């Protein structure tokens, strides 16, 4: 009998074949990280019930199978090779295999040259990812699959990492989005991740096999693949077991099964793993620690006998709902902390009903709400005040430490940190797209190892050798944890090690601290995650300071909201009455907005009496009658200028330009040049999600920035429109603005045409001009351009090319002058009206609404005027920055920071795209330029995965700080 074991990241699959390679037994079980025990049990069971003394040949495969194979001296077959063996045996004409496992994703191309594409250390878009999303939705995988069958809308959800996706899904849930739509959107995200992340430019076509647990059990996931790929894939019989089948088919060595069982059962690992010092060396040290932190308490009183007015604070967080009731003197009269089950509305209703019914004489003087669900809850229950989270937490922190200069709050999926200067929030740090340093990070591992979060945390307190896992993403760390287990690390060691990693992630990924002194001397920590003593101890040890953890650490947002409500009280609250709560209803619908180019899918929440709350909007148009003054938004003006460059019929035919990256500032130059030469210049259409998806199958790199990925869709759109000539040149240098040590383009901007040419096969059917040109060399440029164009077009002369180039340079200069003139007008008008002025600094492509997600409109909705970095950079002479200042776009941002440093009414928001390796330099230097002047500066990282909820929090915090000043 031939036995194949597939020991994967989350499951063990077993297949037994007879002499004719027919399956006589198979099993599929989750191992819950107890790999050794489960493998030994399976082999023992096989020996007793299936093999029963007959000869057995065994082979092991799978991502977690090597250690087991080595310990038992069993043959090991690499899983890709095993899959290929099974496919060639049972379906020999297969062209492509798409396989999704627990933490593994693979695409095997079998024709046209065998090639394998696998995920690295990231489990985004795999079974573990789908499991996390089902848990977030509080439904089973079967229920998710059923829900997806009747969807109406696909939302954009990140799939590169589960924690990114949570940050996209949670605001949708809090805004009332339907689970049917979210379920289908999750499957769509998995498909996009697999195609964009693994196929990387190679077409998935022909006879496609779907293998692995997720694709076997989830019919709607298979349909999503079919719809995106434009084909009908096959999920073959025994699709779960292809790796195990391949292992069994390749098993050739007879083994003694009882001996193998004993060898596997006694495998203990090498015992070699990196460790940190213990958190506590003895019980006495821990007791002193607990006693010190128990001093940060809040006064309490009995609500049932309380006669004075009360104040209610609600914190509708990402994963929990916190409520507090305070008295006139700040006494804590009542509180609750509970999971929000992705919908805080019924929980708030229950809380208020309980208050009214249990305390009929209660006098509510004021109320306030904060958190992810702030707007929804405020509108649903007529809560008196909404308060941005950072201000709520700062307000609470001051009650425990009046001279606090740094506050850090770690919640389920959020990290909020802010520095305090002169009594106002000065600098804000938020985890905009990653929650690897949050409570859900520990929760995920606790659940995977079969513990409650409370029990899991306690196990780490006295661990002798906490595993050193560093500061890494959750899914990256899964493999490290498993390896540590194989090497003999205990659950206690892993628990303590993960607590240390939470702290390191927060400090070095979110705050990006280089020394503990950066955080300050008076630190308050809060949030449910800091109720974990292991995390708190790790934080103090890492910083080398003692901090204050309030006894109500998990309630600080609600506590701060209640304090704010008391401060804002008029004596009578507008909260729904008991009768109104009894008749309360909540209905949700989804509509499309057509008020601007974003075309947002809006979630409309309708409450009893016809009151409505609209969510899902990128700008404020659907939700407010007050229109932002677009005349004070230089981003809008620049887009209008570029829209003026329309096609003009010409005798030499059409030439297409993809509108992305540097074309957002060079379009005036190229449009004038080619129009003068007799070409009809056509540009690709406005960016949107559909356009991105058009080109995603040709993207060869998963880590390049989103603006570069978007170019693939723009080129594909030109091809689809039948444009026969596409012009997209390589430009090492930009025009010299005399601001830096050199004037290079970013390497991606400079050379991405070569990536496009190498990965978009359809370009071979048209004329694609991607030659190297040097527009910075005005004298030599016409000759070089003539040389390039003459290869494709006849009749061009140097004289007419020179004339066209002269006009093109003049057009570019005129465009830039218009931008700078308008910038000065906006600044002058804003000052006349007493408005704050924000320099929204970025790269030319951040003008694209699909790339910037409408952030300029969000800022404008706060009543601020917006100018761009290139509108003020010419007002500064070249100066030393402390780095090699050789990038044109960066030089502008340095100059803009220098320009605003002494302007009281100007502050800076910097947009950054993921994947640009030199952004960190810019961030540090810009901050250094501004800090000495006390300027408020914030950075927003944008990509296709931007969490707009976090962006709104950051912007609201920014303007709250400006107001305080």
Closest CA to 906 of 826, 846, 842: 826
Highest mean pLDDT out of 123-127, 168-172, 811-815: 811-815
Confidence label for 628 from pLDDT (cuts 50, 70 and 90):
low
User: pLDDT digits over 384-395, tens only?
Assistant: 999 988 889 999
Specify the pLDDT at position 20.
86
pLDDT reading at 426 higher than 80: no
Specify the pLDDT at position 223.
95
From residue 363, give the alpha-carbon distance in Å to each of 303, 333, 336, 349.
11, 13, 19, 17
CA 26 – CA 16 distance, rounded (Å): 6
30 falls within a domain: yes
User: pLDDT digits over 158-184, tens only?
Assistant: 766 665 677 678 767 766 788 899 999
pLDDT reading at 433 higher than 70: no
pLDDT reading at 482 higher than 90: no
pLDDT reading at 830 higher than 80: yes
Q: Up-side HSE of residue 813: CA atoms within 13 Å toward CB?
A: 8
User: pLDDT digits over 783-810, tens only?
Assistant: 999 999 999 999 999 999 999 999 999 9
* Greater pLDDT, 591 or 237: 237
User: pLDDT digits over 709-737, tens only?
Assistant: 999 999 999 999 999 999 999 999 999 99
In contact, 806 and 929? CB cutoff 8 Å:
no
CA 848 – CA 864 distance, rounded (Å): 20
CA 54 – CA 17 distance, rounded (Å): 13
* Greater pLDDT, 376 or 773: 773
845 falls within a domain: yes
CA 221 – CA 229 distance, rounded (Å): 12
Specify the pLDDT at position 727.
97
* Greater pLDDT, 543 or 479: 543
Highest mean pLDDT out of 25-29, 68-72, 424-428: 25-29
pLDDT reading at 228 higher than 80: yes
620 falls within a domain: no
Confidence label for 690 from pLDDT (cuts 50, 70 and 90):
confident
Specify the pLDDT at position 780.
95
pLDDT reading at 895 higher than 90: yes
Q: Do 736 and 667 share a domain, yes or no?
A: yes
Structure tokens at 909: 């928001």
Specify the pLDDT at position 235.
93
288 falls within a domain: no
Confidence label for 475 from pLDDT (cuts 50, 70 and 90):
low
Q: Do 412 and 335 share a domain, yes or no?
A: no
pLDDT reading at 81 higher than 80: yes
CA 365 – CA 567 distance, rounded (Å): 11
pLDDT reading at 922 higher than 80: no
Specify the pLDDT at position 109.
92
Specify the pLDDT at position 856.
92
Q: Do 839 and 781 share a domain, yes or no?
A: no
CA 468 – CA 581 distance, rounded (Å): 51
618 falls within a domain: no
Q: Do 660 and 703 share a domain, yes or no?
A: yes
User: pLDDT digits over 494-505, tens only?
Assistant: 889 888 888 887
Q: Compute the average pLDDT of residues 932-942.
A: 75
pLDDT reading at 689 higher than 90: no
Q: Do 799 and 828 share a domain, yes or no?
A: no
CATH number at residue 858: 3.40.50.11900
Q: Do 188 and 328 share a domain, yes or no?
A: no
- Among 815, 848, 881, the domain-final residue is 815
Which DSSP symbol is given to 603?
E
Residue 119's domain spans which residues? 92-235
CA 442 – CA 459 distance, rounded (Å): 13
Closest CA to 366 of 156, 81, 71, 563: 563
CATH number at residue 202: 3.30.420.40
* Greater pLDDT, 865 or 102: 865
Count how many domains the chain has.
6
780 falls within a domain: yes
21 falls within a domain: yes
pLDDT reading at 813 higher than 60: yes
Q: Do 565 and 437 share a domain, yes or no?
A: no
Q: Do 828 and 952 share a domain, yes or no?
A: yes
Structure tokens at 933: 């002047």
Closest CA to 519 of 545, 550, 553: 545
- Among 815, 845, 872, the domain-final residue is 815
* Greater pLDDT, 702 or 828: 828
Q: Do 167 and 195 share a domain, yes or no?
A: yes
Specify the pLDDT at position 664.
94
pLDDT reading at 97 higher than 60: yes
Residue 752 sits at the vertex; the CA angle it makes with 750 and 757, to the nearest 5 degrees, is 135
pTM over 0.85: no
User: pLDDT digits over 584-609, tens only?
Assistant: 999 888 777 777 665 666 778 899 87
170 falls within a domain: yes
HEC string of 513-557 equals CCCHHHHCCCEEEECHHHHCHHHHHHHHHHHCCCCECCCCHHHHH
The mean of the pLDDT values for the chain is 86
Q: Do 258 and 362 share a domain, yes or no?
A: no
User: pLDDT digits over 271-304, tens only?
Assistant: 567 788 999 989 999 999 999 999 999 999 999 9
Q: Do 649 and 507 share a domain, yes or no?
A: no
Confidence label for 686 from pLDDT (cuts 50, 70 and 90):
very high
3-class state of residue 202 by DSSP: coil
**C-beta pairs of 223-232 under 8 Å, 24+ apart in sequence:** 224/184, 224/187, 224/188, 224/190, 224/191, 225/98, 225/191, 225/194, 228/188, 228/191, 228/192, 228/195, 228/693, 229/195, 229/204, 229/205, 231/205
Kindly give, in sequence order, each residue whose CB lies less than 8 Å from that of residue 742, ignoring residues fewer than 6 positions away.
885, 886, 887
Specify the pLDDT at position 662.
93
Q: Do 645 and 667 share a domain, yes or no?
A: yes
Q: Compute the average pLDDT of residues 336-355.
A: 88
CA 15 – CA 895 distance, rounded (Å): 66
């Amino acid at each position: 009998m031939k036995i194949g074991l597939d020991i994967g990241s989350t499951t063990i699959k077993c297949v037994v074949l007879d002499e004719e390679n027919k399956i006589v037994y198979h099993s599929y079980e989750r191992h819950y990280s107890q790999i050794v025990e489960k493998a030994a049990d399976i082999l023992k069971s096989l020996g007793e019930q299936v093999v029963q003394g007959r000869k057995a040949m065994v082979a092991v495969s799978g991502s977690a199978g090597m250690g087991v194979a080595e310990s038992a001296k069993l043959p090991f077959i690499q899983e890709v090779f095993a899959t290929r063996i099974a496919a060639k045996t049972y379906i020999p004409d297969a062209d492509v295999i798409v396989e999704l496992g627990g933490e593994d994703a693979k695409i095997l191309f079998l024709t046209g040259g065998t090639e394998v594409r696998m995920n690295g250390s990231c489990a985004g878009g795999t079974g573990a990812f789908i499991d996390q999303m089902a848990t977030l939705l509080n439904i089973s995988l079967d229920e998710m699959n059923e829900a997806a069958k009747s969807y109406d809308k696909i939302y954009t959800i990140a799939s590169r990492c589960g924690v990114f996706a949570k940050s996209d899904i949670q605001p949708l849930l809090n805004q009332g989005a339907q689970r049917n739509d979210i379920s289908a959107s999750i499957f769509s995200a998995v498909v996009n991740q697999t195609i964009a992340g693994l196929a990387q430019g190679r077409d998935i076509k022909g006879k496609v096999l779907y293998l692995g647990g997720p694709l076997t059990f989830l019919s709607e996931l298979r349909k999503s693949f079919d719809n995106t790929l434009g084909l009908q894939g096959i999920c073959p019989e025994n699709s779960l077991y292809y790796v195990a089948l391949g292992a069994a088919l390749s098993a050739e060595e007879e083994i003694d099964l009882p001996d193998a069982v004993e060898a596997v059962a006694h495998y203990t690992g090498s015992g070699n793993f990196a460790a940190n010092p213990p958190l506590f060396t003895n019980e006495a040290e821990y007791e002193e620690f607990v006693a010190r932190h128990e001093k940060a308490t809040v006064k309490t009183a009995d609500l049932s006998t309380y006669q004075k007015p009360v104040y209610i604070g609600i914190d509708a967080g990402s994963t929990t709902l916190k409520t507090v009731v305070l008295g006139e003197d700040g006494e804590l009269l009542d509180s609750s902390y509970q999971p929000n089950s992705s919908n805080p509305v019924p929980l708030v209703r229950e809380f208020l009903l309980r208050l009214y019914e249990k305390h009929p004489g209660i006098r509510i003087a004021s109320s306030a709400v904060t958190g992810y669900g702030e707007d929804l809850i405020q509108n649903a229950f007529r809560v008196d005040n909404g308060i941005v989270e950072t201000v709520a937490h700062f307000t609470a922190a001051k009650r425990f430490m009046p001279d606090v200069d740094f506050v850090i709050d770690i919640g389920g999926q959020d990290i909020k940190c802010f520095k305090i200067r002169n009594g106002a929030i000065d600098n804000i740090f938020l985890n905009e797209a990653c929650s690897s340093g949050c409570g859900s990070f520990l929760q995920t591992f606790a659940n995977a190892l079969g513990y409650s979060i409370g029990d899991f945390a306690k196990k780490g307190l006295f661990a002798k050798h906490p595993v050193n896992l560093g500061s890494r993403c959750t899914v990256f760390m899964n493999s490290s944890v498993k390896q540590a287990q194989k090497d003999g690390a205990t659950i206690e060691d892993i628990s303590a090690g993960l607590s240390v990693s939470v702290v390191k992630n927060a400090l070095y990924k979110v705050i990006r601290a280089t020394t503990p002194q950066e955080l300050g001397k008076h630190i308050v920590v809060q949030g449910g995650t800091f109720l974990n003593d292991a995390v708190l101890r790790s934080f103090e040890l890492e910083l080398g300071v003692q901090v204050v953890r309030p006894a109500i650490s998990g309630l600080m947002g609600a506590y701060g909201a209640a304090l704010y409500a008391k401060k804002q009280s008029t004596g009578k609250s507008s909260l729904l009455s008991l009768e109104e709560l009894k008749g309360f209803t909540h209905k949700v619908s989804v509509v499309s907005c057509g008020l601007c180019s974003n075309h947002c899918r809006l979630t409309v929440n309708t409450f009893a009496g016809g009151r409505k709350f609209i969510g899902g909007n990128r700008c404020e148009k659907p939700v407010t009658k007050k229109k932002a003054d677009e005349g004070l938004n230089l981003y809008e003006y620049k887009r209008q200028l570029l829209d003026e460059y329309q096609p003009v019929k010409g005798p030499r035919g059409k030439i297409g330009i993809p509108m992305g990256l540097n074309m957002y500032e060079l379009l005036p130059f190229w449009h004038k040049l080619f129009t003068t030469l007799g070409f009809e210049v056509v540009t690709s259409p406005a960016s949107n999600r559909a356009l991105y998806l058009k080109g995603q199958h040709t993207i060869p790199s998963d880590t390049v920035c989103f603006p570069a990925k978007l170019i693939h869709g723009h080129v594909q759109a030109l091809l689809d429109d039948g444009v026969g000539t596409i012009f997209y040149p390589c430009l090492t240098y930009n025009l010299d603005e005399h601001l830096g040590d050199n004037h290079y383009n970013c390497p991606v901007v400079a050379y991405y045409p070569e990536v496009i040419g190498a990965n978009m096969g359809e370009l071979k059917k048209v004329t694609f001009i991607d030659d190297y040109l040097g527009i910075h060399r005005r004298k030599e440029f016409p000759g070089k351009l003539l040389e390039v164009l003459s290869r494709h077009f006849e009749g061009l002369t140097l004289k007419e090319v020179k004339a066209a180039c002269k006009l093109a340079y003049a057009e570019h200069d005129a465009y830039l002058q218009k931008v700078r003139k308008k910038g000065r007008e906006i600044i002058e008008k804003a000052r006349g009206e007493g408005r704050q002025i924000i320099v929204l600094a970025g790269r030319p492509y951040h003008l694209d609404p699909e790339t910037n997600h409408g952030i300029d409109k969000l800022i404008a909705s706060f009543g601020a005027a917006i100018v761009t970095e290139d509108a003020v950079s010419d007002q500064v002479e070249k100066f030393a920055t402390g780095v090699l200042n050789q990038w044109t776009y960066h030089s502008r941002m340095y100059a803009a920071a220098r320009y605003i440093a002494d302007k009281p009414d100007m502050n800076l928001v910097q947009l950054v795209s993921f994947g640009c390796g030199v952004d960190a330099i810019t961030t540090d230097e810009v901050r250094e330029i501004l800090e000495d002047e006390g300027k408020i500066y914030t950075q927003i990282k944008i990509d296709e995965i931007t969490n707009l909820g976090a962006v709104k929090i950051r912007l609201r915090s920014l303007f709250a700080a400006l107001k305080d000043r």
